[in-house]
Amino acid sequence: MTILLAEDDPLTREALTACIEDEGFTALAAEDGRQALELWAKHHPQLLCLDIMMPEMDGFEVCRRVRAKDSSVPILFLSAKSEEVDVVVGLNLGADDFIRKPFTRAEVIARIRAALRRTHSSGGKGGGFQMGDLTVHPEALTAERSGKEIELSRREIAMLELLHKNAGRPVSRDTFLDVCWGLEYFPDSRTLDQHVLMLRKKVEADPSQPAIIATVRGTGYRFPG
């Protein structure tokens, strides 16, 4: 899943790019509005984060042009401007949310997740799959058990998808790292183990006796199926 980030301040842009990629998304970074519009037309990302005050073309104009061709892609504004009139203008142009600077990493990710969930829930939660009594909804970035919704990151979804596709077969640690992180990240086995522990706490009915992410000693992990 790809997110387009348009921010003219290089430090903020780099920090937000790292934040987005740490969650398992693919980030496209633009330093001005015109570049943002070009990247959107070329790559069709699933969500846009736009600063308002940018050179070449401001965030309002980028939003206006995107909305003229796509009414469904989520658009979030990132801006230091906090006057009510700016919020009204942005929302009237079709933005989904408005995040004021300074903001925390957790707030940005929470709002991105919420915008993606709203978009995909409007069309239902099709395309999900079962892992025991757990229903996973990849597009909504959620899972569900007994009516209780569980929020998941894009990387956690990728880990579950990999296990589900290989149900009954061990998935090696190297395969996990290649598929769910990518070679450019160069993570180590300890990173994988930590993510598995955290994911088990979310999706296992009893994390001490995992039924979804079973350990295969000397190899990796397996979904028994």
Please say if the pLDDT value at position 154 is more than 60: yes
Summarised one tens digit per residue, pLDDT across range 102-120 is 888 888 888 888 888 776 6
What's the average model confidence in pLDDT over 136-158?
Answer: 87
What token pair was written down for 69? 């061709």
pLDDT, average across residues 171-195: 78
Percent of the chain surpassing pLDDT 90: 52
Question: Which stretches of the chain are DSSP H helices?
Answer: 10-22, 33-43, 59-67, 84-92, 105-121, 154-165, 173-180, 189-203
Q: Which domains does the chain have, with CATH numbers?
A: 2-121 (3.40.50.2300), 153-222 (1.10.10.10)
What average pLDDT does the structure give for the chain?
87
Q: What's the pLDDT at 211?
A: 95
Q: What's the pTM value of the predicted model, to 2 decimals?
A: 0.61
**Looking at the predicted structure, is the pLDDT value of residue 222 above 70?**
yes
Q: Categorize the per-residue pLDDT at 8 as very low, low, confident or very high, splitting at 50, 70 and 90.
A: very high
pLDDT score of 63: 94
Give me the pLDDT at residue 110, please.
Answer: 87
Determine the residue type at 148.
K
- What are the tens digits of pLDDT across the range 62-97? 999 998 898 778 899 987 765 566 777 877 788 888
Indicate whether 185 pLDDT > 80: no
Confidence class for position 123, pLDDT limits 50, 70, 90: very low
Q: What is the pLDDT of residue 105?
A: 87
In degrees and rounded to multiples of 5, residue 137 shows phi and psi of -115, 90
Cα–Cα distance measured from residue 204 to residue 46, given in angstroms and rounded to the nearest whole number:
29
pLDDT tens figures, 43-61: 999 999 999 989 999 999 9
Note the residue count of the chain.
225
